[in-house]
Chain A
Amino acid sequence: MELIKAMDDRDIFDDMVTIFRTYARDKEALDAATPDTGIVTDLKVNSARIVDVMIQFEDKFGIDIEDEDFNKMNKIGDAVSMIKGKLSY
């Protein structure tokens, strides 16, 4: 657990890109992704599949994602911040 808590933004970001690999319809946008990349708008992830992505985030990082967190995640950077915040508790 200490190891996970020590994850920096880059580690979290890289793990997310791996998870998004299945769901992003725009693979080029994923290859060029930055924290400012939109999950639905740029990666073209089907909005219905966001719940599946969140389940994978929960499993990967050992966290619980609440509905209010869910609604805030428009960009990859939003998700990184949310996950980092939960890991720091």
Chain B
Amino acid sequence: MKRVVVSGMGVVAPNGIGLKEFEHSLRWGRSGIRLVPELKDMSFACLVGGIPPGINGQMNDYFDAERQLSINDNMTYASVAAIDAWRDAGFEVPSSESTPDWDTGAIIGTGVGGMETIVNKLVPSVQQGKIKRMGSSIVEQVMNSSVSAIVGGLLGLGNQVTSNSSACSTGNEAIIDAVARIRAGFAKRMLAGGSEGHSPYIWAGFDAMRVLCRKYNDAPETASRPLSASAAGFVPGSGAGILILEELESALERNARIYAEIIGGAVNCGGHRQGGSMTAPNPVSVARCIKAAIHEAGIDPREIDAINGHLTATFADPGEVHNWPKALGRGSDCFPFINATKSMVGHCLGAAGAIECTAVVLQLHKGFLHPSINCEDVHPDIEEFSDRIPRTCIDMPDLRIIAKAGFGFGDVNSCLIFKKWEGK
């Protein structure tokens, strides 16, 4: 079976656009959570969110004038991350006259998708009887595959181009499915990841469920508090993360810079049984998923140096932490480090896993573990793991293996095992 490596990355995150800014924010524990004034106007309880800063000034670097009229934020984030990743991998953006790249495809998912287009354009036009005035680009903005479709066109991709959706597990799942496609020999390279826009209409349903944080509106940067005793719900986020996954032989042949190897991955579903439901994970299935990823990786669980958790800052965090010792066979006396990228970017929904996988690969490649911020008061149920949670950035040159988990509505789970590339 073919080995699959990460040879490029692009990220559009609330605390940084591009790898350099994102890494800087991760190292220094810089939050991208801000007050979102329109949420107050709309009577949300949660008034904070994670929105990528300053992308509008760069639109001409990525899109011609016609494209700019036919894309929404979700498509913009996916495209910027994809083009950055493509260039980071050493490729040039091809001309519109080029032959399709038959060996390269994309699996780029989204959780909710083009909600802003539906709310701001589609619904008002239809309700006012102005169908004729909607223009040509509504379908391409609201179809589930909008984010992969636009990337396929921008980069001239000729292999499979599709979008998956598995709620908050979407980004991880896209990467796992893309790895499988390369391993099976159907593609040499895949762009893989997830994207999500930042419409209040995406976030409103979560606010109604009372799962969004509503206690820290006056201190937005402290609002996302995974692992903390004073966590008060998740902070909604947005953005995109894209990895260039490549067959090892291909990457070596073109002398590409290799960040990491993906040595294992698994997805499953708890079937809404054994304590699982539409909105809560079946702990048995979580443990099975983690074990399956480790089994595929062919490693001893003791080799895992760190865990990048799903860890959203809801009541579910302690349960998630306690699932890991069961899956790894490692108690608090020999537990890996564990951190939560969401503490700085919020929960980016369909983009969450992909943005967080970008953080994982950066940490492996550069040899550091980013702090998990806002958990000075670790939750009492996981006090025994407190010293395994980085509160400041840890330089760790010998960091080799990180496990990345993600869980989503629908009782779906995903787990990836990343290994630092050490030249063989």
Contact = CB atoms under 8 A, between A and B. Distances in A.
Interface stretch (A5-13, A29-37, A47-55, A80-88): A47-55
A55 B65 CA distance: 17
Contacts of A52: 69, 135-137
Contact of B65 (A22, A46, A50): A22
- Interface size for chain A: under 10, 10 to 19, 20 to 34, or 35 or more residues? 10 to 19
Contact of B66 (A49, A51, A55): A49
A46 B66 contact: yes
A46 to B, nearest CB: 7
Interface in A16-59: 21-23, 25, 46, 48-52, 55
Main secondary structure of the interface of A (DSSP, over half): helix
Interface in B66-80: 66, 69
Interface residues of B, number: 8
A23 B66 contact: yes
Contact of B69 (A21, A22, A51): A22
B66 A48 contact: no
Given A22-B69, A23-B66, A55 B96 contact: no
Contacts of B135: 51-52, 55
Interface string B72-96: 0000000000000000000000001
B133 interface: yes
Nearest to A49: B136
Contacts of A22: 65-66, 69
Contacts of B133: 55
Nearest to A50: B136
Contacts of A48: 136
Interface string B105-134: 000000000000000000000000000010
Contacts of B69: 22, 52
Nearest to A58: B133
B43 to A, nearest CB: 35
Contacts of A25: 66, 96
Nearest to B135: A52
Most buried by A among B66, B69, B133, B137: B66
Nearest to B96: A25
Given A25-B66, A52-B135, 17 more contacts: A21-B65, A22-B65, A22-B66, A22-B69, A23-B66, A25-B96, A46-B66, A49-B66, A49-B136, A50-B136, A51-B135, A51-B136, A52-B69, A52-B136, A52-B137, A55-B133, A55-B135
Interface of A: 21-23, 25, 46, 48-52, 55
Interface of B: 65-66, 69, 96, 133, 135-137
5 contacts: A25-B66, A25-B96, A46-B66, A48-B136, A52-B136
